[in-house]
Structure 1
Amino acid sequence: MLSRSRRSVLAAASALATATLIQAGLPARPAMAAPHGLNRLREGVAAMPELSFTNAEGRPHTLADFAGRGLVINLWATWCPPCVAEMPALDRLAATLERENIQVLPLSSDRGGREVVQAFYDRTRLQSLRIWLDPRGAAARALGARGLPTTVIVDRAGQERARLEGDAAWDAPEFVAAIRRLVGRSATEAPTRGA
């Protein structure tokens, strides 16, 4: 059995190797074996702070613009190897959940703004994620994030329901099921029989 520090070193080396492959334009490794990270998902209900960020065009947005939607808010940056490692899984998650009124909001803290993030999206062939910018890290501070990546699950009523620090296999079936459960049903979804 590997010691905790040795496992940490191996995980960091794996993330760095993945980041190098992605930045070179090579295909990313498949999503990490489930339930990678699921045991680190801390559940609990908390009020959300006011968050402000911009879209790719520089227009300001707040969480009020997403009222009634489930949200997966991911705080990340292109210079962060674990962030880079999980972006393909977040892209697949966004594609999976888009018809369920659940939106993935990857808030980039890159100071280079849209150009840096767009170049990264193009290199890594991300297709479902939109560009959202928080170059001063205001959202991370407001959420009390201790580092990147940090992901916060927000239910349709606007409450934080869970948080995970570090990268994860977001498109793994266990994560998708947990997100659906945590954000709750939308008003347009009919309850299933027996629910």
Structure 2
Amino acid sequence: MQRLTEHPEPQPLPEGLSFTDAEGRQTGFDAFRGKALVVNFWATWCPPCVAEMPALDRLHAQLATEGVEVLALSNDRGGRAQVEPFYRRTNLRHMAIWLDPRGATGRALGVRVLPTTLLIDRRGLEVARLMGEAEWDQPPVVAAIRRLTRTPAPTTTRS
């Protein structure tokens, strides 16, 4: 597995980013405020993307009760009509279908290759990213996601 690149300073997301759900309703990262996010940019035509999707689905099942959402944002131009049969064929049952068919959100976040995955902490800041495929449901990876996406305790100053 490739290593997550941790940011020394968490990065704010650009304003106004949006993507759609399977029904075509526009949403954005603000809709997930307070949750940690594993945001995966992928496409059905991308072999390494396809290879890691079952592990992402298992990761979502494992961490959803802890307030961690896996958002797999498909770059497929065919949208739901292309992604939904893929989900059925590969038995992806836990992740919702999210679409970024024009790739605008990915471009705004500097995504250059598929798959690329961003870890967003509970404050909405990007704390790490990984370009390439990973085994997302393996214990060391799950532990790293938990560690990187938790909300740090507020700093207090004493006078």
Residue 74 (str. 1) matches residue 40 (str. 2) = yes
Cα shift at 1:47: 1.2
> What is aligned with 1:48?
13
Aligned equivalent of 1:175, options 136, 141, 145 = 141
Residue 85 (str. 1) matches residue 48 (str. 2) = no
Distance 1:75 1:99 in 2: 23
Q: Deviations over 1:84-125 (max 9, x none)?
A: 000000000000001001000000010111011000000000
Distance 2:23 2:111 in 1: 26
Where in structure 2 are the equivalents of 1:1-195 lying within 5 Å? 36-37=1-2, 40-44=3-7, 45-50=10-15, 51-184=17-150
Work out whether residues 155 and 182 of structure 1, in 8 Å CA contact, stay in contact via their aligned partners in 2. Answer: yes
- The gaps in structure 1 that reach 5 residues or longer are 1-35, 188-195
Percent of aligned pairs with the same amino acid: 61
Q: In the comparison of the two structures, how many residue pairs are matched?
A: 150
Distance 2:144 2:89 in 1: 30
Work out whether residues 18 and 29 of structure 2, in 8 Å CA contact, stay in contact via their aligned partners in 1. Answer: yes
SS in structure 2 at match of 1:148: coil
The ranges of structure 1 where at least 4 consecutive aligned residues each deviate by more than 6 angstroms after the TM superposition are none
Work out whether residues 121 and 151 of structure 2, in 8 Å CA contact, stay in contact via their aligned partners in 1. Answer: no
- The gaps in structure 2 that reach 5 residues or longer are 154-159
Q: Deviations over 1:119-142 (max 9, x none)?
A: 000000011111000000011101
Distance 2:12 2:69 in 1: 19
> What is aligned with 2:157?
none
Distance 1:123 1:178 in 2: 30
Work out whether residues 11 and 126 of structure 2, in 8 Å CA contact, stay in contact via their aligned partners in 1. Answer: yes
Work out whether residues 54 and 132 of structure 1, in 8 Å CA contact, stay in contact via their aligned partners in 2. Answer: yes
Cα shift at 1:185: 5.1
Distance 2:146 2:14 in 1: 22
Structure ID, larger Rg: 1
Aligned AA for 1:46?
Q
SS in structure 1 at match of 2:65: helix
Distance 2:36 2:126 in 1: 10
Distance 1:81 1:184 in 2: 31
Cα shift at 1:162: 0.3
Cα shift at 1:46: 1.0
Superposition RMSD in Å: 1.3
